[in-house]
């Protein structure tokens, strides 16, 4: 069976991107983290700065870091990064520029279980992302005191990307750190394993139901520079695009819905060639 | 055309994504001015173990 | 095919820049060669040469301290913490009690605030110190302290033990209970008469 060109390009892009943004090899070998100046910038996707290989900071980490400050401060710097990445890419970040997205994509390829695109009650559960965003990222980091100072609530209690790329490599390379493992770590490890195993059957469950970053970028999807253009006149409503779409979007929803990760699988599937990866560069309001 | 009409015309000619990037850059500069990038950097190179779910 | 090769080269190039950017930093600190003192168990002895810590820094009160201070006690415990770190702050009341329990000639405690540089506002840090009753000297980061010690540290809290000659005996990563600290301290005091 001939694999679509789009799929191969995207997979290669995701792998290379992950290697570049988490490629500080010295870090993995010694269990130390990168401390250079690149960490003054955020990468667009979910990427814990505690990962020994990470060379940039995480936008959600930056957001929570500002909210953790004394009193209440508007997290301008983090919002700045989010606006820039969101306005240019929208959820293209999710489809092409997120290591944890790549991990779920890879596990979904494992030929076990009958594949499903979505959980039952998807229409309700898809709002879980916003719950995580407002409950943990915002309210949790701005108001919750679990000790003397505030904490990044999403990072501490939920983020599976941080567990996989940060906590696990650090614990692997640092014997001294292993004495610090507590119940919290087991909760996060369990959550990571659950999501990774679930992604074998369901397509990208974390992205669809829990990721607060996806929630934010989703708001930019309609207006972002990167778009998938649909030529309405040529469309025969065969719904080949919907069948190919990993999150089951109809032609009207492609690229503009908050669920679209702009992976481009619909582009390859359309027999009339109505869909193509495009940009909004000249679109006036 | 009046001054405000001219402004409105320019405004409507700018694609939304570009406006978003401009707003983003302004926010970023404001954040740098407030030292938020420095804060983020310090937390990124000296990790609080509780924040990543260990200890 | 050409694109794939190009991408691999770009990735390789970026990896190498990442590595070399930090090499300078790594050469500046040999703290990793110190023996690792872990939990209640015995130390792992490292055959490498002793690392002697030297520095000049100011306390939060503005007083100047240098590494001559090591000569005052048989054992000095340097606890690196940060104002955003809950585990650090949670163990500091215990550290305050420990500092008071020993005679200065035997043991002294010094705190190092890793996120306050010389010249930064110290009011917040001072408020935290008062709140946690951590009544021992706390140093603000200076260049020598940063390059000779703190730069090799990735996580807070990290604690170093130094003998009276300034030799770093070992380090512990993470917060510990009061009992654990006392065991480690008593053990080191015995070994370093």
| Segment A99-131, tens digit of pLDDT | 999 999 999 999 999 999 999 999 999 999 999
Side-chain half-sphere exposure of B41, counting CA atoms within 13 A: 13
Distance separating alpha carbons of residues A186 and A127, to the nearest angstrom: 26
Average per-residue pLDDT for chain A: 93
B44 touches chain C (CB under 8 A): no
- The residue-averaged pLDDT of A35-62 equals 95
CA distance A238 to chain C (A): 34
CA distance C3 to chain A (A): 10
Q: Which domain holds residue B42?
A: 3-52
Distance separating alpha carbons of residues C161 and C166, to the nearest angstrom: 9
Partner residue opposite A162 with nearest CB, options B36, B40, B52? B52
Decide if C120 contacts C145 (C-beta within 8 A): no
Q: How many domains in chain B?
A: 1
Partner residue opposite B46 with nearest CB, options C87, C115, C174? C115
Decide if A34 contacts C18 (C-beta within 8 A): yes
How do residues B23-55 score in pLDDT, each as one tens digit?
Answer: 999 999 999 999 999 999 999 999 998 888 887
Interface probe with C: pick from B36, B38, B49, most Cβ of C within 10 Å: B49
pTM of the entire structure? 0.88
Give φ, ψ of A230 to 5 degrees.
-115, 120
A274 pLDDT tier (thresholds 50, 70, 90):
very high
Q: What is the pLDDT of residue C44?
A: 35
Interface probe with A: pick from C21, C40, C132, most Cβ of A within 10 Å: C21
Partner residue opposite A176 with nearest CB, options C36, C124, C175? C36
Cis? peptide before C133, omega within 30° of 0: no
Question: Could you tell me the CA-to-CA distances from A180 to A123, A198, C79 in Å, in that order?
Answer: 40, 29, 16
Interface residues on C facing B, Cβ-Cβ cutoff 8 A: 82, 84-88, 114-115, 150, 153-157, 173-175
Task: With a cut of 80, say whether residue C75 has pLDDT above it.
Answer: yes
Q: Tell me which residue of A67, A24, A30 sits closest to A43, measured CA to CA.
A: A24
Partner residue opposite B48 with nearest CB, options C84, C150, C153? C84
C47 pLDDT tier (thresholds 50, 70, 90):
very low
The residue length of chain A stands at 285
A71 touches chain C (CB under 8 A): no
Task: With a cut of 70, say whether residue C29 has pLDDT above it.
Answer: no
How do residues C93-141 score in pLDDT, each as one tens digit?
Answer: 999 999 999 999 999 999 999 999 988 999 999 999 999 999 999 999 9
CA distance A111 to chain C (A): 27
A15 touches chain C (CB under 8 A): no
Distance separating alpha carbons of residues C90 and A147, to the nearest angstrom: 7
Model ipTM over 0.95 = no
Q: Is B24–A284 a contact, with Cβ atoms under 8 angstroms apart?
A: no
- The residue-averaged pLDDT of B2-20 equals 85
Distance separating alpha carbons of residues A207 and C106, to the nearest angstrom: 56
How do residues C49-62 score in pLDDT, each as one tens digit?
Answer: 789 999 999 999 99
Largest CA distance in chain C: 71
The angle formed by the CA atoms of residues B8, B13 and B15, to the nearest 5 degrees, is: 120
Distance separating alpha carbons of residues A143 and B22, to the nearest angstrom: 30
Calculate the CA A214 to chain-centre distance: 6
Using a CB-CB distance cutoff of 8 angstroms, which residues of chain C are in contact with residue A146?
86
Give φ, ψ of A177 to 5 degrees.
-70, -30
Domains of chain C: 32-191 (3.40.30.10)
Q: Is A171–B54 a contact, with Cβ atoms under 8 angstroms apart?
A: yes
Using a CB-CB distance cutoff of 8 angstroms, which residues of chain A are in contact with residue B8?
none
Task: With a cut of 50, say whether residue C30 has pLDDT above it.
Answer: no
Task: With a cut of 90, say whether residue B3 has pLDDT above it.
Answer: no
Q: Is A176–C85 a contact, with Cβ atoms under 8 angstroms apart?
A: no
Domains of chain A: 5-219 (no CATH), 227-279 (3.30.70.20)
DSSP C164: T
Q: What is the pLDDT of residue C20?
A: 39
Task: With a cut of 90, say whether residue A4 has pLDDT above it.
Answer: no
How do residues A133-180 score in pLDDT, each as one tens digit?
Answer: 999 999 999 999 988 999 999 999 999 999 999 999 999 988 888 888
Percentage of the residues of chain C whose pLDDT score is greater than 90:
70
């Amino acid at each position: 069976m001939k694999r679509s060109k789009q799929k191969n390009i995207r997979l290669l892009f995701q792998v290379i991107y992950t290697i570049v943004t988490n490629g500080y090899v010295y870090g993995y070998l010694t269990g130390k983290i990168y401390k250079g100046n690149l960490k003054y910038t955020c990468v667009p996707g979910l990427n814990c700065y505690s990962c020994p290989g990470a060379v940039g900071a995480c936008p959600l980490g930056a957001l929570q870091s500002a909210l953790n400050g004394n009193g209440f401060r508007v997290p301008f710097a983090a919002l700045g990064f989010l606006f820039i990445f969101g306005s240019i890419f929208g959820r293209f970040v999710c489809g092409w520029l997120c290591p944890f997205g790549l991990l779920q994509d890879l596990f979904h390829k494992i030929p076990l279980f009958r594949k499903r695109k979505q959980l039952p009650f998807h229409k309700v559960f898809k709002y879980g992302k916003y719950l995580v965003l407002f409950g943990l990222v915002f309210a949790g980091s701005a108001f919750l005191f679990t000790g003397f100072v505030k904490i990044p609530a999403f990072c501490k209690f939920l983020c599976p990307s941080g567990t996989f790329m940060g906590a696990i490599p650090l614990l692997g390379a640092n014997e001294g750190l292993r004495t610090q493992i507590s119940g919290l770590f087991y909760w996060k490890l369990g959550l990571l394993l659950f999501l990774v195993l679930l992604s074998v059957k369901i397509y990208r469950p974390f992205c669809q139901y829990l990721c607060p970053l996806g929630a934010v970028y989703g708001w930019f999807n309609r207006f972002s520079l990167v778009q998938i253009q649909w030529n309405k006149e040529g469309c025969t409503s065969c719904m080949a695009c919907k069948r190919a779409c990993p999150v089951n979007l109809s032609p009207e929803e492609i690229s503009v819905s908050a669920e679209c990760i702009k992976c481009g699988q619909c582009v390859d599937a359309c027999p009339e060639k109505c869909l193509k990866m495009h940009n909004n560069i000249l679109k006036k309001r | 055309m009046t001054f405000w009409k001219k402004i409105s015309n320019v405004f409507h000619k700018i694609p939304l994504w570009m406006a978003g990037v401009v707003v983003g850059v302004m926010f970023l500069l404001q954040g740098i001015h407030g030292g938020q990038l420095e804060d983020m950097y310090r937390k990124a190179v000296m990790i609080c173990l509780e924040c990543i779910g260990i200890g | 095919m050409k694109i794939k090769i190009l991408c691999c080269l770009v990735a390789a190039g970026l990896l190498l820049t990442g590595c070399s950017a930090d090499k300078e930093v790594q050469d500046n600190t040999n703290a990793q060669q110190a023996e690792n003192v872990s939990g209640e168990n015995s130390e792992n002895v490292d055959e490498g040469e002793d690392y002697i810590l030297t520095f000049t820094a100011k306390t939060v009160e503005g007083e100047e301290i240098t590494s001559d201070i090591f000569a005052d006690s048989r054992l000095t415990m340097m606890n690196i913490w940060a104002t955003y770190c809950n585990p650090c702050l949670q163990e500091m009341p215990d550290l305050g009690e420990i500092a008071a329990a020993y005679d200065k000639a035997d043991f002294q405690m010094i705190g190092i605030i890793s996120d306050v540089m010389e010249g930064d506002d110290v009011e917040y840090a001072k408020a935290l110190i008062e709140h946690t009753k951590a009544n021992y000297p706390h140093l603000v980061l200076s260049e020598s302290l940063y390059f000779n010690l703190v730069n090799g540290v990735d996580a807070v809290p990290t604690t170093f033990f130094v003998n009276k000659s300034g030799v770093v005996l070992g380090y512990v990563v993470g917060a510990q209970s009061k009992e654990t600290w006392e065991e480690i301290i008593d053990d080191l005091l015995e070994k370093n008469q």
